[in-house]
């Protein structure tokens, strides 16, 4: 906690700060949680890997299986996420945050500078183990014979669509003209 995160810097100069997605920066003490690290809102999960649909961590230690549900809205467990693919959940929430920001913090979103600035950190779970995707996306790649590669390609397409939803929403509100988007990859290629 002695290191200042970008979210804390942005919050301190007046930005509205939001985080949607995979935290994976520690949760052993509440001081490490997103809402204590500069974010006004948090929607997502704390751990490093979990199922895309049931939002559980599945592990085996010896003969014992361990399962833990981890999906949150603010600091509260959110069971409404159960059964929905995380990439869709994250894109939908990001679009909602943009819409809420316009309604609450903009005098005229078509004028650059007429809104409070916003920082949104949107680390998708994709494309990370476990390799899971809605069938409609893996079906886009019938020419790929290896199932894991077909699923992985579908995951990339699902994430591309989700990013497209966010960018399209920014563009439709003219906020895109005053937005910087940085893409980073988790786990290299």
Buried b (16+ CB within 10 A) or exposed e, 79-108: eebeebbbbbbbbbbbbebbeebbeeebee
pLDDT tens digits, one per residue of 15-29: 999 999 999 988 999
pTM beyond 0.75, yes or no: yes
pLDDT tens digits, one per residue of 115-127: 888 999 999 999 8
pLDDT tens digits, one per residue of 126-167: 988 899 999 999 999 999 999 999 999 999 999 999 999 999
Q: What is the mean pLDDT of residues 42-49?
A: 94
SS3 state of residue 166? helix
């Amino acid at each position: 906690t002695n290191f200042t995160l970008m979210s804390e810097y942005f919050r301190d100069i007046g930005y509205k700060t939001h985080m949607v997605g995979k935290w994976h920066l520690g949760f052993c003490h509440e001081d490490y949680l997103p809402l204590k690290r500069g974010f006004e809102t948090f929607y997502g999960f704390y751990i490093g890997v979990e199922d895309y649909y049931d939002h559980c961590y599945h592990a085996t230690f010896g003969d014992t299986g361990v399962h833990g549900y981890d999906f949150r809205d603010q600091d509260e467990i959110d069971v409404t996420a159960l059964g929905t693919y995380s990439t869709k959940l994250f894109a939908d929430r990001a679009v909602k945050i943009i819409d809420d920001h316009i309604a609450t913090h903009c005098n005229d979103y078509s004028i650059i500078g007429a809104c409070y600035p916003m920082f949104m950190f949107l680390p998708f779970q994709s494309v990370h183990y476990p390799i899971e995707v809605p069938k409609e996306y893996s079906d886009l790649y019938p020419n790929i014979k290896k199932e894991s590669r077909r699923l992985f390609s579908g995951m990339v397409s699902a994430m591309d669509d989700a990013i497209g939803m966010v960018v399209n929403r920014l563009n439709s509100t003219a906020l895109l003209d005053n937005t910087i988007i940085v893409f980073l990859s988790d786990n290299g290629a």
